Structures are given as C-alpha cells and as structure tokens.
Amino acid sequence: MVPAVVAYLAALYLQGGSGGGSMGLLNNARQFAWIPISQAAARKINVDAFAHVLGMDLQYHLMRKTGELTRVLDRGSSAIQNLLSTVLFKVGLCFWGGWGGVGWVGRES
C-alpha cells in the first residue's frame, strides 16, 4: 500500500500538485522542449508571409493600412503556432496513448 501512495504522490508532484497548471516538472519540460520547434516554425511562417506580402501588387499596399497588415500577419502566425501546439501535444498524444494501449492489450501473454 505504501509504495502505491509514494508513486501517486511522486506523479502528483511531477504534474504540478493538486492544482495542476504550469507548475509541474513534466509540463515545464514539455514547454522547454517546445521552444526551439515553436521558434523555428514561427520564423519560417513569418518569412514566408513577409515574402508573399512583398510580392503582392503595389495597388494592394496603397489601399491597406500598415498597422492592419502587420496585425493580420501577427494574428495568423500566432494562430498557426497555437494550432500546431494543440495538435501535437493534445490530439497527437491522445492518439499515441491510444495506440500504445491497443498494443499493450493486443500483445501475447
């Protein structure tokens, strides 16, 4: 009984205590591992979007406000980063865990 309680408390500590949130060791490690991926993706998206905007017709730029264009580019980049993070860490891990469970149940004893 005592090893189960110790294991539970250790898992609870790694996840961030009873409150969860961003205080846990595992969550912080995930965020730290995500930083280079996120920055590289954001850089690629921003460079491609900027190149696309520069390649557009002059008439488009004369009819738009500079602040409006930068706001749209910033929101688009942020939305893509959030989508990628959600798909990778939420949906992707659910599928990975599900297939791991299928493999565990389907293995021979």
Cα–Cα distance measured from residue 79 to residue 81, given in angstroms and rounded to the nearest whole number: 5
pLDDT for the residue 59? 87
State the pLDDT at residue 53. Answer: 85
Q: Would you place residue 25 in the very low, low, confident or very high pLDDT band (cuts 50, 70, 90)? A: confident
Return d(Cα 6, Cα 3) in angstroms, integer.
5
Other C-beta atoms within 10 Å of 88: how many?
13
d(CA 86, CA 91): 7
Q: Where are the domains of the chain?
A: 2-102
Contact 15, 24 (CB under 8 A): yes
Q: What is the pLDDT of residues 50-105, one digit of tens each?
A: 899 889 888 888 888 878 888 888 888 788 878 877 887 777 767 777 666 666 66
* pTM beyond cutoff 0.75: no
